[in-house]
Structure 1
Amino acid sequence: MRKNDRVSACGKTINYEIVYSKKRKRAAILVRPDMRVEFRAPQGLSADTIRGMVEGKAQWIFKKLEWFEANRLPDQKKQYCEGEVYLYLGRECPLRITFVNDIKKPLAFFKNSELTVEISENTSEDQLPFLVKEAVWNFYSKRAEEEVEKLLKIYSKKFGVSTPVFMVKYQKKRWGSCSAKNVLRINFQLMMGPPKQLEYVVVHELCHVKEKNHSARFWKLVRELMPDYEKYRNSLKIDGWKYVL
């Protein structure tokens, strides 16, 4: 459940979103690079209590907001036009659009350090960005399916569990999730980052098959499967804002 609220502190107003979770045991405040403030709350925590906690962290929140304002990130929305730069496996690749005859559906593929989209020469100018976007998303999704399947087969065997059902999809705020029925969902935009980051997310969600929380037991399982996971967890936190399609 989500709701919006605000408090006044230090002569300014803090607008924030409260995100309730039945699984969460401790409250946490998150200041995002897009200047949004999120309060992650255990179920049942009152709005008044939350306001008091936000007021108590007001100076820290304003410092974070000021830093993000001073280091504002560029607009990451893609235009799907010739020459635009995309990340693939951690490398920057220019988008190349090639017009060809006798092609029914646009096709994207990686070739010669470029992300190439082949599209019908009869495509109108107003349709072009939408069709290029569809081809690019399909490319990243298909590649993610292939990589996740390989990783799950390897790690499920090490973990001693059956390979779980999974799907790759676009997720605005999550890199991965594991449902109560052990269906894994992995964000295909992870194909934009170095392969080890995707590997970490797959291992992370696989461990939720046995532990549906982030307890010490859970992190022990992650470390057993991927001893250096913290390196890739941290790099994903630092660079993940770049992975936008």
Structure 2
Amino acid sequence: MSRHTFQFGSATIDYELQFLDRKTLGITVTPEMSVIVSAPIGTAIPKIESRLTKRAPWILKSISYFMAFHPKTPNRKYISGETHLYLGRQYLLKIILGEEESVKLKGKHLIVNTIKTINARPLIENWYLSQAKNKLHSIALPLIEKFKKHKVAPTSIELRNMPKRWGSCTAKGKIILNPELIKAPKGSIEYVITHELCHLIHHDHTQKFFDLQSKEMKDWEKWKTKLETLLA
């Protein structure tokens, strides 16, 4: 594959071009926001870019769509007074030095009891992971039950740190969720899980996929926007 760019208004769009033994030109936007063009052998570049220009609004919309699945949570400091997210709400971090090592929510505070301040970060990260293991599965269960009417169910649900994805669905039906989702509102978590459950039925982002997603979660765009803005 060779790399190319073309201009559409003020946007510069990069794409990877491959020539294949096929009759028509295909354009794919991957979840990693790469644009891949598969063209019949011998197709002229001007003809390819003419087609790309016509499809540019769809390409940019698809890139924007997948951007919601790219975690961009800002770095947080692990000192008293800093805010940390949990299920879409901001909590003030309060570090208390003592003999105990624990993390808990109390009112508007995330309270960390620790022997040394330097221990606050690993304590909080472990707490987030523990919460993710419990909460993400409990949020997923009713959605999985709901999808049984389509005669589908994930083979398993796994948590995995993914720098570029909020969730994914494997060819064998395993749904993988990023534990960082525990920082997002419940509705945004439901949106990501619903999105992956839809992939058990429609593997690609076709119109049928989006129709199903809208049918199963009418306000998914609202929660997608919250995910983009709150964790951006």
Interval containing the TM-score (normalised by the shorter chain): 0.5 to 0.7
C-alpha change, 1:18 and 1:80, in structure 2 (3 Å) is farther
1:159 aligns to 2:160 (yes or no): no
- Contact 1:96–1:114 (CA<8 Å) still a contact in 2? yes
1:145 aligns to 2:156 (yes or no): no
**Following superposition of structure 1 onto structure 2, how do residues 116-131 of structure 1 map, counting pairs within 5 Å?**
116-121=111-116, 128=118, 131=119
| TM-score between both structures, scaled by the size of structure 2 | 0.66
SS of match in other structure, 2:129: helix
- Contact 1:141–1:168 (CA<8 Å) still a contact in 2? no
Q: Tell me by how many angstroms 1:165 deviates.
A: 0.9
Per-residue CA distance 1:57-116 (angstroms, 9 max, x = gap): 7xxx9xxxxxxxxxxxxx92222222111222222211111222154xxx3332222122
C-alpha change, 1:165 and 1:99, in structure 2 (3 Å) is same
Structure 1 match to 2:97: 99
SS of match in other structure, 1:198: helix
- Contact 2:191–2:224 (CA<8 Å) still a contact in 1? no
C-alpha change, 1:149 and 1:40, in structure 2 (3 Å) is same
Quick check: 235-244 or 189-198, which moved more?
A: 235-244
The amino acid of 1:232's aligned partner reads W
Q: Tell me by how many angstroms 1:214 deviates.
A: 1.7
- Contact 2:17–2:39 (CA<8 Å) still a contact in 1? no
- Contact 1:4–1:15 (CA<8 Å) still a contact in 2? no
Structure 2 match to 1:208: 199
2:179 corresponds to which of 188, 193, 196: 188
SS of match in other structure, 1:218: helix
Q: Distance in 1 between matches of 2:144 and 2:39?
A: 37
What is the root-mean-square deviation of aligned Cα atoms in Å?
A: 4.0
1:84 aligns to 2:72 (yes or no): no
- Contact 2:140–2:190 (CA<8 Å) still a contact in 1? no
- Contact 2:86–2:183 (CA<8 Å) still a contact in 1? yes
Which of structures 1 and 2 has the larger relative contact order (alpha carbons within 8 angstroms, sep 6+)?
2
Q: Share of identical aligned residues, percent? A: 22
C-alpha change, 1:100 and 1:15, in structure 2 (3 Å) is farther
Structure 2 match to 1:26: 27
SS of match in other structure, 1:211: coil
Structure 1 match to 2:106: 111
| TM-score between both structures, scaled by the size of structure 1 | 0.63
The amino acid of 2:219's aligned partner reads K
SS of match in other structure, 2:176: strand
**Following superposition of structure 1 onto structure 2, how do residues 62-73 of structure 1 map, counting pairs within 5 Å?**
none
1:136 aligns to 2:136 (yes or no): no
C-alpha change, 1:52 and 1:82, in structure 2 (3 Å) is farther
Q: Tell me by how many angstroms 1:187 deviates.
A: 1.9
Q: Distance in 2 between matches of 1:90 and 1:19?
A: 40
